[in-house]
Amino acid sequence: MEIKPKTVKSAQLKNLIVKQLYFDNALSCAELSELFDKSIPSITKAVNELITEGFVVEHGYAPSSGGRRPLLYSIKPDAMYILAIAMDQLSTRIQLLDLLNRPVADSLTFDLRLLNNDAALATLVKSINSYILKSGIPKEKIAGIGMGMPGFINVRQGINYTYLNAGSKSLVQYLHDEIGLPVYIDNDSSLIALAEQRFGIAKAQQNVMVINLGWGIGLGMIVNGEIFRGHNGFAGELSHIPLSDDDALCACGKRGCLETVASMQVVAEKAIEGINSGRATSLKDTGAAASKALLDDILDAAGKGDQFAIELLSDAAYKIGKALAILIHIMNPQTIVLSGRGARAGKILMAPIQQALHKYCIPRLAESTQLLISDLGFDAELIGAAVLMMENFEKEIKSVSRLEV
């Protein structure tokens, strides 16, 4: 069916307003008019249509600055829902969120190995479809799916070159065909950065670097208020910059990568070494070499004051700090955020990182960047996935009308 251009333009403005209200809690017509460079009558008309369509509600009056009080409008949280998916190498989380990023159904976490697993894609589709079914939310009320995953991703084409090959179709196209909802994917670290910049500790900042402290060291870059991916989507490869000339061989084939000296994997390996050589520590070698449980133990122990655990983390953090010094010289960010699983140990990491920054940064540069610890924590990637979906909402021209009952 052909869509009349007139309808498209009008729908675009309405989608833009919905998107804006998703990001900014409540806004007046005057503010929206300013924001989109449209006249107040045009905005009023669009907003009123959105109210009758059930997407927008009045939200009381804002305090006046010397004139009539503006009527605020906000999004109706249950006007539609977003399916957010956060994957890592071993497990996947699915959660349905409303337009205030609040869960509307229990999250589902299940093991899903991405590497060398031909069944992964089919399992994922089955899990998503059954999750939606179990939630009791009709598909028509779900605006779409946002998904974060590791690997090298072509966002525009919706392909992950590393995992979940969907054969002749793109991953996004395949998922869309199997589930019947629009799907958007992006790199996990990028989505964490997006979450921090839209709803986290770096809200609305234009220039933010977010460190994803997980098993490896990821970097999500926000440049001019948007995710930055570089020419081929490879930007932010912080963990493989050459830091020292004569260190261990990295999986990437080079020597001296940050990853070989400062990742949580290395921390865990060193912990086992230390335990076995009789270091005084509350940590125990559980047998499973470098498991996730051990990493959690180390973070816990450090939090409780275990000197050995603190030492391990500090060593890693100092080296991360040196890499961040380089990043600051090149990007001059307003903020660096420590996020991801490892952000739990943020307070312990902070001091050695700052120390390295002072040693390796021009003072003026070190002073102009603030180092913060995420407060979104484990939810960051899920929220980032939801944001990704809403970022692309204006492209779904038919969305508003499709969702009309």
Residues at the contact surface with DNA, assessed by CB under 7 A: 4-6, 9-10, 13, 28-30, 37-42, 44-45, 61, 63-71
| Nearest distance from C-beta of residue 108 to a copy of itself, angstroms | 34
Count of Cβ atoms closer than 10 Å to residue 39 Cβ: 10
Site residues (CB under 8 A) for a copy of itself, limited to 250-269: 252-254
Q: Which H or E element spans position 86?
A: strand 81-87
Q: Measured from the CB atom, is 101 or 335 closer to a copy of itself?
A: 335
Total residues in contact with a copy of itself, by rule CB under 8 A = 42
Task: Dig out the tokens for 152 from the structure.
Answer: 């090298």
Position 319 contacts a copy of itself (CB under 8 A): no
The 8 Å CB, 24+ separation contacts for 272-275 are 274/308, 274/312
Selected from 35, 290, 365, 373, the binder of a copy of itself by CB under 8 A is: 365
Contact 248, 260 (CB under 8 A): yes
Among candidate residues 163, 165, 97, the one with its CA nearest the CA of residue 382: 97
Q: Which residues, at least 6 apart from 240, have a Cβ–Cβ distance to it below 8 Å?
A: 250, 252, 254, 257, 258, 259
Selected from 326, 350, 351, 397, the binder of a copy of itself by CB under 8 A is: 326
Q: Measured from the CB atom, is 40 or 133 closer to DNA?
A: 40
Position 236 contacts a copy of itself (CB under 8 A): yes
| Nearest distance from C-beta of residue 339 to a copy of itself, angstroms | 18
Q: Measured from the CB atom, is 6 or 231 closer to a copy of itself?
A: 231
Selected from 331, 348, 350, 351, the binder of a copy of itself by CB under 8 A is: 331
Position 5 contacts a copy of itself (CB under 8 A): no
Position 233 contacts a copy of itself (CB under 8 A): yes
* Angular region, 257: left φ>0, alpha ψ -120 to 50, beta rest: beta
Q: Binding partner of residue 195 among DNA, a copy of itself, none, CB under 5 to 8 Å per kind? A: none
Contact 229, 154 (CB under 8 A): no
- Angstrom distance (rounded) from CA 107 to CA 113: 19
